[in-house]
Structure 1
Amino acid sequence: MSRLLFTGLPLRIRVVIAVTAFFLAVAAILAVLIAVSVRDMTSTATSIDDARARHAAKAAIAALQEHLSATARDNTVWDDGYEHITSPEAKEFSDTTWGKSTIDNPLFDASIVVTPQQTILSSYKKGQEFDPHSFFDSSLADIIGHAKTSGRVPVVSFVRSADGLAIMAAGMIRPYNRTIDADAPLHTLVLVRFMSAETLDEIEQTFDLDDLSVSETPEPHMLSVPLNDADGNTLTYLQWESREPGTMIYDRVHGYLLTAAIVLAAFLVAVLVTGFMAVRMLQRSTDRARHRATHDVLSGLLNRAGILEKLDKAIAADRADLMLHLIDLDGFKGVNDAWGHAVGDELIKLVAARVQSHLPADALFARLGGDEFAVATPLHTATDLAQRIVDCVAEPFMIGGRTIEIGASIGTVTAQNDVPDALELLRRADMALYTAKEGGRGQAVTFTANLDNDRLMAAELEDRLRRALERGEIQVAYQPLFDAQAGRVVGVEALAQWVPITGRVSPEIFIPIAERSGLIDQLGMQVLKTAIEQAQKWKTLALSVNVSPIQLRNPNFPADVIRLLDKTGFDPHRLTLEITEGVLMSNPDQARRAIEALRNIGVKFALDDFGCGYASIGALRTFGFDRMKIDRSLVSGLKNREGSEVLTATISLAHALNIPVTAEGVETPEQMAALKQTGCDQLQGFLLGRPMSGADIAALVRSSAA
C-alpha cells in the first residue's frame, strides 16, 4: 500500500520524502557513531594515560635503582677507598666517609660496611649507629651474597626493613686501577635508601604521578607496578590513582555534544524546507550543466561533444545535405609563445567572432580545442565558404596595440551515404586538414577517396617498415668524403637503404614514416650499430651518421649511443653525428643536453643542410658545431655569380667561426674546382663517389691511397 501511496505523489514530493528519509537515517547513524566515538575516545584516552603512568612509574623505579647503583659503584670501585678500608683506620674511615654522612645525604639514608669475615664494621642510619641484622633481617645477608659474584657492578634490589620498604645497593670495595688476587678478601659496602613519603613525593613531582603509595597487594581500582627483591620475587607494589582523563574529556565536551544534537535537528528541519526548493532548482542546474558540457567556456561556441551530438542528428536526418569544415589556425602557437596565453585567449575570441560573422545563420560553429574549430553548414550554403574563412582569418588582428597576423588551414568533407556517424565525418575532415597543412598551409583541401587510399598505403608501408626492422632488412650504404686538397678519402657518411622485394623505397619516404610512427629510434640505432661495426674495419676513416630531430629529443638517446660505443669499442672521436637545424628550433634545451653529453666523450656534431633553413650565427656559436655541411642547393647555385658569392660568404663565415666545411652534392668538375678555391675542407657528391657497400669503400680507400 505504501508503494501505491508514493507512486501517486508528484515526483518532487517523492524526491523530498526520499531525501528527508535519507537524512533521518544519516542522522541516526551519525548519532550512533558519535556515541560510540565518544565512548571509545574516553576509554582510549584513559588507557593511553594509564600506559603512560605505568611507563613513568617503571622509569622512576629504574631511575632510583640506577642512581643508588651509580653511587655504590663510585664508592666501591675506588683506589683510595680500598687503601683505607684495608688499613688499621678502616673503622674510622667507614664511619666518617659513609656512616655519619647519612644524616643529610640526599643519595642514601643508611650505610653498612661488612668485613670479609661477615662482621659489621660500620652501620649508620640517618647519622645514628644501628643493628642492621635485626633491622633488615635476612635481606642483608642475601644481597651481600649476590654482591660477591657481581664483580664491579653493585647489586640493587628492594628489601623489607623495620621502617618499611627500602632500596638496597651492595658492592665489594676494590681498587679501580690496581690488580688484586681473585681470592683476595674484600669488604662489602651496602647503601640504603628508604621508600619514605619524601621519596614518593619526589617521584610524583618528577614523573607526573598522583597519590603514590606502597601496598602488599594492589587494590583493584588502582594502577600498580611490582617491586622485586634480588631474586626477582615480588615484595610489594607501588600503586597510584588513575587520572581517568577520558571522563574529564567527556565532561568538557558534553555541552558541545548537546549543542550538536540541537544543530542536527535544526538541519533536518532545514532539509525539509530546502528540499522543495531543490527540486525546482534541479532542472535549471541540469540545463546549465548541459550547456557547459556542450559549449566552450572561452569562446561560447559549441565544443567537441556539442557539435558531434548535433552532427549525428543532422547525418541521421539527411546525409547528403551537410558539409563540415575543420579549421586549424596557422601560427597560433607562435603567438602564445611570444605574447603569452592571455593574448592567445583573446585571439581565439576575436577569431571566433570574425569567422562567425561570415557564416550563414543555420551554420553550426564549434571550437574543438586549442586552435581548432569546426563549421558545419547545409551543402547549398557552403559555396566558397572555406576560402572566405581563410581570407578573413588572414586579415590582421589588433590586440593591446599589437598587430597579429595568423592564417588558417581547412579540411572540408561532404556527408555522403557511406558516412555512418559524426566521428567518421570528423576523421575525414581531419585527413583533409592534415593534407592542407602538409601542402603549405593557408589553404583548403576537400576530402576525396584518394586521401583514404594514401592513409591505407602509409599504414601498410609503416607495417612493412616495422617488420623490416624486426628482421634486420634495413641496409646501410656509405658515401665517401674526400679531402678537398689532398683528394683522398677521409671519411664516409652512412645512409639508410631499404630495398624490399617490391623495389627500393626512398629514404625521403620511409624516414618520415618512421618519425611519425615512433620507429625512428629503432631505425636510427640499427643504422648506427651497423655503420659502427663496418667502420671498425677502416682504422683511419671517420664515420658520419645522420640523426633525426626526434631521436635527439629522446632523453635516453645519449645513453644509448654511449652504451653502443662501449659495447663495440669504437673510438668516439671517429664518430660525427649530423643534425639539421630543425632540432635547434623545436627543442633547443634538450638538444643542448644531448650534444654536451656526447661531446664529453669525444663524439663530434655537424650541422647538416646549412643554407636551406633558418640556422643563425648565434646557433652555430651556442651549440659549438665541429663541422658545417653546406646544402646541395648552394653548390648547385655556383653556375651564377650571385650563387657563387653566397657560397663564398657562407664558407668565409664558417672559417671565421673556426668551423670546417663539407660541401655535399658535388656533381661537376667545375663545382669541385670552385669549392676548392673557396677553401672548402671536404667534398661529397656523385662526381667523387656514389653511396656504395662497405667492400667498395675499402677498395676505394686503397686506390685513393695509392
Structure 2
Amino acid sequence: SGKQVKLHFIDLDGFKAVNDAWGHAVGDALIVAVAHRLRDALPNDAFAARLGGDEFAVVTVDEPDAELVPSFGGRLQDALASLFEIDGRSIEIGCSIGVAVSEHGVVQTSELMRRADIALYRAKDLGRGITIDFDDSFDVDALQQAELENELRATLLTGGISVMFQPLIDARSGAVTGVEALARWRKEDGVAIPPDIFIPLAERAGMIDLLGMQVLRTSLNAAAAWPSLSLGVNISPLQLKNPRFVEQVEEATKAADFDPRRLIVEVTESVLISNPEQARRAIDGLKKIGVKVALDDFGSGYASIGSLRRFGFDRMKVDRSLVAALEVDQNAGAVLQATVALANALQIPVTAEGIETERQATVVRLSGCDELQGYLFSRPVSADEVTALYCGAE
C-alpha cells in the first residue's frame, strides 16, 4: 500500500517481582489487565499479540513520514503508568519498548523483528520505562559487542584476566589490614577495557562464572603469601545463583591452601532484591565454611538496615558517593554519620570507600568507620607490589 509498518516489541518492567511476591495467579491476572490496556491504546488499524511471558508485540501501519503525537509507544507508557488493582493489591509496573520501521514494507519480517528486538534491549539497558527506535548505529554497536565478547572468551580460556589489589587501612593505626582484589583486562593490542564494561559483558554472555572463579583463584594464590592480610573479592549476583558456588569457593580456598576466615566475599544490594531467598542460602553457605560476607556499595541504592540484620553481613562498605558528597553537600557528614551509626548499632564494622583527601579521611574516622580505602592511601597495585610494600618484613 506504500505505507510504513512499525513493529513494537514490548517488555513489562517489574513483572518478575510481581510473580515472586504474589505468585503466578496474580501475575497471570496482571497480564490480562495489561492486555486490556494495550488493546484500548491501539490505533484502529493496529495488530497486537502476546509473544509469551510478559512480552507483547504491536504492528501499526502509518502514512510515510507520519509524525504521531504522542507516538503509540508514548501512549502505551502512559496507559501502563496507572496502578493496577489485582485481587485487592495495588501493583505498579511499566514497560520498555523497542521499535523498528519498514518503509513501504520493504524490510523482511525476520529483519524487522531482529531490529525491534535490538531496540528493546537498548531501551532496557538505558534504564527501562522508555521507547527506543532502532538506528543503524545499533548494528555497529552490536558488532563491536560481539567482537569484544569473542575476545573476552578467548582471554578467559587462556587465563588472561589479571588482578590488582587495593589496600585496606585500619582507621586507628593506619596499618594495612587487607586488600580488595580488582579484575583487570588488557587486550592483546594493549587497550585496557574497564571492569564496568567487561563484567556486564561477561554476565550477558554467560561467562561470569568463569570470570569470577578465575579472579578468585588468582587472588587466593597471590594472597596466600600475605598471611596477615584479609582478602576481599567481588562477586556478581549471577554467581550466587550457581548452586555449586559455595562448593567452588571452598575448593578454591583448599587448592590455594588459604584460610577461608581471611576471605571476604563482597556482594551488592541487587543480590538482596532480585532473589533474596537464593542470596540467603548462598550467604549462609559461605559463612558455614568460614568465609565472611560484606555488603558492598551501601548507600547507592535501596538496601536497608533491615537487610544488614536479616542477611547477617560481617561488614558494610559505604559507597564512595557518600564520601564524595562530603566535598559538596553540607548535610553529607550527618548522613554518613547516621549511616555508620546504624551499622555499628548492629555491631557491623564499616569500611569507607573512595577516600581521596585528608578531610574525607578525618570525617569518616570521626563517623565511626574502622577501615578506610581509597587513592589517598594507595591506588590498586600488583601482587608483587603488595608483597614488597606490606609483607617484606614477614
Which interval holds the TM-score relative to the shorter structure? over 0.9
Moved more, 570-579 or 581-590: 581-590
Are 2:97 and 2:131, in contact at CA under 8 Å, matched by a contact in 1?
Answer: yes
| 1:594 aligns with one of 282, 285, 292 | 282
Question: Does the alignment pair 1:650 with 2:333?
Answer: no
Moved more, 635-644 or 507-516: 635-644
CA shift, 1:638, in A, is: 1.8
Partner residue, 1:389: 76
Partner residue, 1:410: 97
Q: State the AA in 1 paired with 2:365.
A: K
When residues 543 and 405 of structure 1 are mapped into structure 2, their CA distance, relative to the original with a 3 A threshold, is closer
CA shift, 1:502, in A, is: 4.1
Alignment of 1:165-244 (within 5 A): none
When residues 346 and 624 of structure 1 are mapped into structure 2, their CA distance, relative to the original with a 3 A threshold, is closer
Are 1:480 and 1:491, in contact at CA under 8 Å, matched by a contact in 2?
Answer: yes
Q: State the AA in 1 paired with 2:247.
A: A
Partner residue, 1:695: 384
Q: Give the distance between the partners of 1:682 and 1:402, measured in 2 at CA.
A: 44
SS class of match (2:4)? coil
When residues 450 and 676 of structure 1 are mapped into structure 2, their CA distance, relative to the original with a 3 A threshold, is same
CA shift, 1:430, in A, is: 1.2
TM-score between the two structures when normalised by the length of structure 2 = 0.93
Q: State the AA in 2 paired with 1:372.
A: E
Partner residue, 1:615: 303
Are 1:638 and 1:644, in contact at CA under 8 Å, matched by a contact in 2?
Answer: yes
CA shift, 1:416, in A, is: 4.9
When residues 661 and 537 of structure 1 are mapped into structure 2, their CA distance, relative to the original with a 3 A threshold, is same
- 5+ long unaligned stretches in structure 1: 1-316
User: CA offsets, 1:463-514, max 9 Å, x none?
Assistant: 0001011122111101010111101111111100001124110000000001
Partner residue, 1:454: 141
Q: State the AA in 2 paired with 1:596.
A: D
When residues 654 and 402 of structure 1 are mapped into structure 2, their CA distance, relative to the original with a 3 A threshold, is closer
SS class of match (2:192)? coil
Larger radius of gyration: 1
Q: Give the distance between the partners of 1:456 and 1:470, measured in 2 at CA.
A: 21
Are 1:654 and 1:661, in contact at CA under 8 Å, matched by a contact in 2?
Answer: yes
Question: Does the alignment pair 1:574 with 2:262?
Answer: yes
SS class of match (1:360)? coil
Question: Does the alignment pair 1:506 with 2:183?
Answer: no
When residues 333 and 550 of structure 1 are mapped into structure 2, their CA distance, relative to the original with a 3 A threshold, is closer
When residues 424 and 502 of structure 1 are mapped into structure 2, their CA distance, relative to the original with a 3 A threshold, is farther
SS class of match (2:221)? helix
Question: Does the alignment pair 1:565 with 2:253?
Answer: yes
Q: State the AA in 2 paired with 1:617.
A: I
| 1:667 aligns with one of 331, 344, 356 | 356
When residues 568 and 589 of structure 1 are mapped into structure 2, their CA distance, relative to the original with a 3 A threshold, is same
Moved more, 573-582 or 397-406: 397-406
Q: Give the distance between the partners of 1:662 and 1:675, measured in 2 at CA.
A: 9
When residues 323 and 553 of structure 1 are mapped into structure 2, their CA distance, relative to the original with a 3 A threshold, is same
User: CA offsets, 1:5-25, max 9 Å, x none?
Assistant: xxxxxxxxxxxxxxxxxxxxx
Partner residue, 1:540: 228
SS class of match (1:378)? strand
CA shift, 1:570, in A, is: 0.8
User: CA offsets, 1:303-345, max 9 Å, x none?
Assistant: xxxxxxxxxxxxxx76x62111111222233333444433333
Partner residue, 1:379: 62
Partner residue, 2:50: 367
CA shift, 1:685, in A, is: 0.3
Are 2:11 and 2:96, in contact at CA under 8 Å, matched by a contact in 1?
Answer: yes
SS class of match (2:48)? strand
Partner residue, 2:242: 554
Question: Does the alignment pair 1:676 with 2:365?
Answer: yes
SS class of match (1:440)? coil
Q: State the AA in 2 paired with 1:689.
A: S
Are 2:4 and 2:104, in contact at CA under 8 Å, matched by a contact in 1?
Answer: no
Q: Percent identity?
A: 54
CA shift, 1:357, in A, is: 2.6
- 5+ long unaligned stretches in structure 2: none
Q: Give the distance between the partners of 1:509 and 1:336, measured in 2 at CA.
A: 31
Q: State the AA in 2 paired with 1:325.
A: H
Are 2:305 and 2:343, in contact at CA under 8 Å, matched by a contact in 1?
Answer: no
Q: CA RMSD in A?
A: 2.1
Q: Give the distance between the partners of 1:687 and 1:677, measured in 2 at CA.
A: 17
Alignment of 1:234-273 (within 5 A): none
Q: State the AA in 2 paired with 1:377.
A: T
When residues 358 and 593 of structure 1 are mapped into structure 2, their CA distance, relative to the original with a 3 A threshold, is closer
Q: Give the distance between the partners of 1:691 and 1:627, measured in 2 at CA.
A: 21
SS class of match (1:673)? helix
Question: Does the alignment pair 1:321 with 2:4?
Answer: yes
Partner residue, 1:195: none
Are 1:476 and 1:497, in contact at CA under 8 Å, matched by a contact in 2?
Answer: yes
User: CA offsets, 1:507-563, max 9 Å, x none?
Assistant: 000000011111111111111111111112212111111111111110111111111
SS class of match (1:551)? helix
Give aligned pairs, total. 388
Q: State the AA in 2 paired with 1:696.
A: E
Q: State the AA in 1 paired with 2:155.
A: A
Q: Give the distance between the partners of 2:106 and 2:290, measured in 1 at CA.
A: 58
Are 1:419 and 1:425, in contact at CA under 8 Å, matched by a contact in 2?
Answer: no
CA shift, 1:424, in A, is: 2.1
